Structure 1
Amino acid sequence: MNIFRFLFSKTFVKQLGLALLILVAFVFIVKWWLGNTTNHDQRIAVPDLKGMTLDVVDQELSNANLRVFILDSSNYNPDYPKYSVIEQNPAAGKFVKENRKIYLVLNPSGYRKVKIPNVISKTRRQAEPTLNALGFKIGKITYIDHIGEDELREMYHKGKRLQPGDLLEKTATIDLVLGNGKGNYRDALGGDTDAQNNDTDGGN
């Protein structure tokens, strides 16, 4: 009976009401603290950074209270300036919280270099697809006297002779020198036949 009498007493009601007030105040304080520490209600629109250089990107993100994180460079894209942004994550227009990292992919300074394959002595029909598959372009075609018709004899880039194994920028133009089929076996052997004939004559 004493317990029931206490539960309905003014003292208990006052203590209960005080406890509820403290609980409500605590909940509001926790929500306020979480909102300030996690930027719960703050939303920042990510700017469009594509095509911008790093110095401009740094300024844009600094003004927006965002951070930059550079990923590895991608394949060269001629539609964008060198070392400019070609990809970003999150995308432009997305809403993020303050101090969020924006991941960027930069445009390299040029196409990567590719090793020249050994296609000397191959026919044009064999050599061209091999070079094209590696990203090279075929430029001027010239012919020299050589018994192998349409056989690749030499390769040039901007007047410089190329050798198999040389490194050349992807999409570069390669000029081809082919045989016209009008040579003879002495030409094909590079004079070895004459040397062999002389040795034979000397031996006789």
Structure 2
Amino acid sequence: MSIIKFLVSKTFFKQILLAIVAVVVLCYLMLLLLKGYTNHGDFETVPDLKGKSISVAELELDDNNLVMQIQDSSNFNPNYPRFSVIEQEPVAGTQVKENRKIYLTLNPSGYRKIEVPDLRERTFRQAKPNLEALEFKIGKITYEDNIGKDLVLKMYHKGKLINPGDKLAKTSVIDLVLGNGKRPRK
């Protein structure tokens, strides 16, 4: 039999038809198997974990068949308790599959420590923006006899003298001692 006669024969068309039926049946069976294997249509709802402690968040995720993954801590946020969840991915209310990892960002224990710059012998006008740029707050301002008017002489934090290079938490209040422009008395 020549190839052309075989390609137009009933046997060839039967074989093609059987192959197509076999592929369709195999695809249908695979789809049914995948649907059962992947729990198609079964979802868990991600709970809202913002502001909750790690232990509470872990319990809620376990109740919903989800897995907690602590990503990192962020900058301190005073609106949330220490070591509580401040961000989560995916967000609350999202429908996810069972055993999905929920990534949590935690609030650290406090503001990070920042090195205090050397502001001695600088004017208050120069010192103020430097401190504010580092997110320190300026507290009480007192004056001492010194020929340099508004010159920073000393810095204090909670009554203790601060030296340049000391580390303080961001948003710490720094009290300044400035010169009043008068000669010191002898």
Q: Name the TM-score class by shorter chain.
A: 0.7 to 0.9
1:1-150 maps to which residues of 2 (within 5 A)?
A: 20=21, 26-150=26-150
* 2:157 is equivalent to residue 162 of structure 1: no
TM-score computed with the length of structure 1 as normaliser: 0.78
SS of the residue aligned with 2:33? helix
Partner in structure 1 of residue 3 of structure 2: none
SS of the residue aligned with 2:129? helix
CA distance in 1 between counterparts of 2:60 and 2:31 reads: 32
Letter in 2 for 1:84: S
Structure 2 unaligned segments of length 5 or more: list them: 1-8
- Per-residue CA deviations over 1:137-184 (Å, capped at 9, x if unaligned) read 000000011111110000000001000000000000000000111125
Letter in 2 for 1:177: V
- Per-residue CA deviations over 1:112-133 (Å, capped at 9, x if unaligned) read 0000000011000011110011
SS of the residue aligned with 1:72? strand
Partner in structure 2 of residue 197 of structure 1: none
TM-score computed with the length of structure 2 as normaliser: 0.85
Q: Percentage identity across aligned positions? A: 54
Deviation at 1:40, TM superposition (A): 2.0
Structure 1 unaligned segments of length 5 or more: list them: 188-204
* 2:185 is equivalent to residue 182 of structure 1: no
SS of the residue aligned with 1:71? strand
Root-mean-square deviation over aligned CA pairs: 2.2
Letter in 1 for 2:157: H
CA distance in 1 between counterparts of 2:127 and 2:24 reads: 81
CA distance in 2 between counterparts of 1:57 and 1:177 reads: 47
Relative to its length, the structure with more helix (as a share) is: 1
CA distance in 1 between counterparts of 2:77 and 2:98 reads: 31
CA distance in 1 between counterparts of 2:68 and 2:158 reads: 40
